Structure 1
Amino acid sequence: MLKIPDIKVPVVEIPFRKNIRLFIKREDLIHPEISGNKYWKLFHNVNNYLAENPQNPLLMTFGGAYSNHIAALSALGKIHNIKTVGIIRGNELEYRWKENPTLRFASENGMHFCFVSREDYRDKDALSEKLKNEFPKALIIPEGGTNLAAVEGIRNMLNSDTQDFDYLCAAVGTGGTVAGISKFAENHQKVIGFKVVDDDSLHSRVSELSGKENFTLIDAHFGGYGKISDENIAFINAFSREFGLQLEPVYTGKMMRKLFQLVEEGYFPQNSKVLAFHTGGLQGIAGANEMLKKQNRAVIEKGVSS
């Protein structure tokens, strides 16, 4: 079963020449392979399932070709000797998945794949129902790991080190992380979710999972989910060189770029203390760079991540 890691996650100040104090909580250091928020999203989901002592446990979930969630679940399966299956978006990948660093990693961890068309993938409720009928004793985890059990797990990202901040910030994909932060934030804290996907349903989803309205969602997709612009690459590389901290291009890079813009625009009151959560996902840089090289574009430089 997953345990509370024996590590004190550092909170690092980012020196800033404005009238606020900006910090990053390094959840990416929580585990070398089950990284950041993925660890906490899986924490109760998997532990509750294993507490039932299922025979031949099986973990199944959904994800795209570069999914951090797929990578994390495969690593968990290898570490705990549990079978895992990934339902992968895009049946065109079936015969060329070995070209993909994330899927290679997941396969090396023992994960089996089921590739489905993008059209079929959109109806994950129907897919889940089909899987439940075929594998009634399996744990079927939603895309991104987001559900009520995941929200409870995110509670572990908040502790005495986070209580004094005025603002808590996180990237938003499926909404589970920012919902957990919202639910367990202190009463005086305001929560900002940086949407890296253009999804108008996210506010209602986060509100339902959190039960609170202490959060604001701000667009930070910069062209769409998974889209990596030259401007984003330049920002990530400049951030790494100046602050010695590695960001990735899908979540944390876009969050921090938009956060810097908000600071420049005077979004935060003077003397505010702002905390951003580094939710991991650095495994995705290899795949991003392979794509960028094929396009003869600048790549993400390997920075300091610990």
Structure 2
Amino acid sequence: MPLEPLRLQLPSPLVEVDDERLGDVRLLLKRDDLISPEVPGNKWRKLRLNLEHAGELGYHTLLTFGGAYSNHLRAVAAAGAQYKLDTIGVVRGDELAAKPRNWSLAYCEQRGMRLVFMDRQTYREKHSTEVVDRLHSEHGDFFLIPEGGSNALAVRGAMDVPGEITAPYDVICCPAGTGGTLAGIAAGAPPGVHAIGFSALKGDFLTDEVQRLQAEAGLTTANWRVETRYHFGGFAKHPPQLHVFATDFEARHGVRLELTYVAKMLAGIYEMAANGEFSPGTTLVAVITGPAESGAGGT
């Protein structure tokens, strides 16, 4: 099913950041946040091939998972509306707690998504055969997209990012939430380029996830690592120093940063540059995976 353009800006712009605080490091921003107003950034990268594959297999319904403020759910709802596909969003938590609907779930329903709610204990097993079989018995036939959208098709979709970069560079950085974008960017990077994924979550489990995703896609590489120092307290934590950094960056460069993922990555890059962790003359590309307005920066 060839997809018609969804008001897409591709390739996404590449802009240089002029900032004396970076010293001898050159920083370029890959503005994937500008790809689409409704399916922005890495969400389009990860969904594109999933949508095509669902169409090729004859599916008319997409089912996926997310929390009450999931940018992934919103992206699937918007894409389903665009391509005339029914969508089902399995939401973590109790439905009574989600009434009245918050702005994010209301958006999903406005785009035609049917919301169903799953208790947190079952949700932890959401991708198990038992739970998926139960969902099929309750909702019929559907094409399943995992939480966050990261699967082998998403990895292959994210491979497009390095191919759009025409300037020479040494390191490419992206935020990391589920690992799919990092897995694909690393697999698509040209020889000699190293990829760094800045984890927005505590812990080092993402390394195993990226390895698994690359293996599923048949694209195993050794040119990447997960940086775990800049989670700023954990997922969805936005301490005052992160707000200060993001506000200052916007004032200097006119780019408003999404806080959960993107600002953490850039704050990490700036600190690493100040600490001399990049060789003088290094050119970095930082992928801005989602806009501040929707919070859609997860990868």
- TM-score normalised by the chain length of structure 2: 0.88
CA–CA distance in structure 1, aligned partners of residues 263 and 84 of structure 2: 33
In 2 relative to 1, CA 273–260 (structure 1 residues): closer, same or farther, beyond 3 Å? same
Q: What is the DSSP-based 3-state SS (H/G/I as helix, E as strand, rest coil) of the residue aligned with 1:194?
A: strand
Residue in structure 1 matching 2:40, options 32, 35, 41: 35
Residue in structure 2 matching 1:187, options 174, 178, 191: 191
Residue in structure 2 matching 1:79, options 76, 79, 82: 82
Structure 2 residues without counterparts, runs of 5 or longer: 215-219
CA–CA distance in structure 2, aligned partners of residues 104 and 173 of structure 1: 24
Residue in structure 2 matching 1:45, options 46, 50, 56: 50
Please say if residues 198 and 227 of structure 2, whose CA atoms lie closer than 8 Å, have aligned partners that are also in contact.
Answer: yes
Please say if residues 89 and 115 of structure 2, whose CA atoms lie closer than 8 Å, have aligned partners that are also in contact.
Answer: yes
CA–CA distance in structure 1, aligned partners of residues 179 and 14 of structure 2: 23
Does structure 1 residue 246 correspond to structure 2 residue 252?
A: no
Aligned-pair distance for 1:252? 0.5
Residue in structure 1 matching 2:134, options 130, 142, 145: 130
Does structure 1 residue 214 correspond to structure 2 residue 228?
A: no
User: Equivalent residue for 2:281?
Assistant: 271
User: Equivalent residue for 2:233?
Assistant: 223
Does structure 1 residue 21 correspond to structure 2 residue 26?
A: yes
Q: What is the DSSP-based 3-state SS (H/G/I as helix, E as strand, rest coil) of the residue aligned with 2:127?
A: helix
User: Equivalent residue for 2:217?
Assistant: none
Letter in 1 for 2:52: N
Aligned-pair distance for 1:3? 4.5
Letter in 2 for 1:81: K
Aligned-pair distance for 1:117? 2.1
CA–CA distance in structure 2, aligned partners of residues 101 and 238 of structure 1: 28
Of stretches 150-159 and 195-204 in structure 1, the one that deviates more from structure 2 is 195-204
Structure 1 residues without counterparts, runs of 5 or longer: 287-306
User: Equivalent residue for 2:247?
Assistant: 237
CA–CA distance in structure 2, aligned partners of residues 76 and 156 of structure 1: 19
CA–CA distance in structure 1, aligned partners of residues 202 and 145 of structure 2: 23
Aligned-pair distance for 1:72? 0.6
Q: Deviations over 1:63-122 (max 9, x none)?
A: 112211111111111112211111111216644252x22112111111111122222211
Please say if residues 74 and 108 of structure 2, whose CA atoms lie closer than 8 Å, have aligned partners that are also in contact.
Answer: yes
Of stretches 168-177 and 119-128 in structure 1, the one that deviates more from structure 2 is 119-128
Q: What is the DSSP-based 3-state SS (H/G/I as helix, E as strand, rest coil) of the residue aligned with 1:91?
A: coil
Does structure 1 residue 161 correspond to structure 2 residue 170?
A: no
Report the number of matched residues.
283
Aligned-pair distance for 1:205? 1.6
> What's the RMSD between the two structures over aligned residues?
2.0
CA–CA distance in structure 1, aligned partners of residues 24 and 110 of structure 2: 48
User: Equivalent residue for 1:173?
Assistant: 177
Q: What is the DSSP-based 3-state SS (H/G/I as helix, E as strand, rest coil) of the residue aligned with 2:255?
A: coil
Letter in 1 for 2:226: L
Please say if residues 92 and 117 of structure 2, whose CA atoms lie closer than 8 Å, have aligned partners that are also in contact.
Answer: yes
CA–CA distance in structure 1, aligned partners of residues 176 and 267 of structure 2: 14
Does structure 1 residue 106 correspond to structure 2 residue 111?
A: no
CA–CA distance in structure 1, aligned partners of residues 207 and 294 of structure 2: 26
Please say if residues 132 and 140 of structure 1, whose CA atoms lie closer than 8 Å, have aligned partners that are also in contact.
Answer: no
User: Equivalent residue for 1:12?
Assistant: 15
Q: Percent identity, please.
A: 34
